[in-house]
Amino acid sequence: MAPTPELVTAALATVNDPEIRRPITELDMVKSVDISPEGVVRVGIYLTVSGCPMRDTITRDVTTAVSKVEGVTGVQVEMDVMSTEQRKSLQTKLRGNRGPEKEIPFAQAGSLTRVFAVASGKGGVGKSSVTVNLAAAMAAGGLKVGVVDADIYGHSVPRMLGVSDRPTKVEDMIMPPVAHDIKVISVGMFKPEGNTPVVWRGPMLDRALHQFLADVFWGDLDVLLMDLPPGTGDIAISVAQRMPSAEILVVTTPQQAAAEVAERAGSIAVQTHQQIAGVIENMAWLPCPHCDERIAVFGEGGGQTVADALTRTLGARVPLLGQVPIDMRLREGGDEGKPLVLTDPDAPAAAELIKIASGLSRRSNSLKGMQLGISPTRGR
């Protein structure tokens, strides 16, 4: 049976753009399909930009899909680049035909994306490790997940997720790299090579956050996790202003000194009128390598102390979501870009993080907390 253009096009419809995560046929990326009498198929593909980092991936996926069509004896993939008009058309298509306005989709009425702002009172409590592993666990559970590395000065999420690709720019829209089925954006992806520090002040920090939320094409996410800088500085305030529906996750360690500053970080919700999803106690204990005893390296009770204090301050229950034990593999996974919840989900620390992620993933079907975009009118 000789292959037909219809059969080849149907096969191409199974190929997703690696960054946009939608079929290339739907995105008008298929330029042409030519079939020789001998069954050799030549497919023309439009790339969004000439230096597209996903070029080889698209070539491989197209070749694999078309090769499965009955009667195909060979596949040739030829690349071209979209014109300015085609890129503008793609941008409009991705923004839901609303035009190229720059709005934060997660702050719009009716957004179904649940946003968590992961905060801590001080550095060194493992906030980024917790963020990355929660994201990986949620993605592994079938959710569409994105991560914003909003810790501008101390950005570390790209390394922890093993992201080496840079974002792709389509007109004024940014396509985020994907790792472990998680869309990721970080200021570290835009810096020159090397460990150059970011020296920005308030207005620039706020602008960077807005670009991460509005200019990046996130698609339809179930969950967005934002890794905030420690403390209650400019970024925390900007998140509250731009994303008032974001729920705060407070990460602390058991020691009382860390608990006190974590309580201050969570108490910002009183002034910003945000909801606190709960408290996570990291480095809760060290399992003894020789027995079943738990060694309280950093003391005990800090997580519950923070949860109880925030409950009193807010007048609403703030739960202790979980206690994550110390595990060297958690740190090693961060250094290697391989989250522990994926490499060893049965490890005690991974199991606790997966349990926390599962609890956060469950969402009520009610309209509580959702912006409906309606306003009262006077009767006639």
Q: Report the alpha-carbon distance of residue 207 to residue 355 in Å, rounded.
A: 35
Q: Report the alpha-carbon distance of residue 113 to residue 98 in Å, rounded.
A: 19
Does residue 113 contact residue 270 with C-beta atoms inside 8 Å? Answer: no
- Where would I find the H helices in 255-362? 256-272, 302-314, 328-336, 340-343, 348-361
Q: Could you tell me the end-to-end alpha-carbon distance of the chain, in angstroms, rounded to an integer?
A: 70
Does residue 104 contact residue 210 with C-beta atoms inside 8 Å? Answer: yes
DSSP string over 184-214: EEEGGGTSPSS-PPP---HHHHHHHHHHHHH
Check whether 123 is labelled as a binding-site residue.
Answer: yes
In this structure, are strands 168-170 and 114-119 parallel, antiparallel, or unpaired? unpaired
Check whether 122 is labelled as a binding-site residue.
Answer: yes
Does residue 89 contact residue 26 with C-beta atoms inside 8 Å? Answer: no
Check whether 126 is labelled as a binding-site residue.
Answer: yes
Check whether 127 is labelled as a binding-site residue.
Answer: yes
For the record, the structure tokens of 320 come out as 């202790």
Q: Tokens 């108490």 — which residue? A: 267
Report which secondary-structure segment, H or E, holds 281.
strand 276-282
Q: Report the alpha-carbon distance of residue 122 to residue 199 in Å, rounded.
A: 20
Annotated binding site: 121-128
Annotated binding site for ATP: 121-128
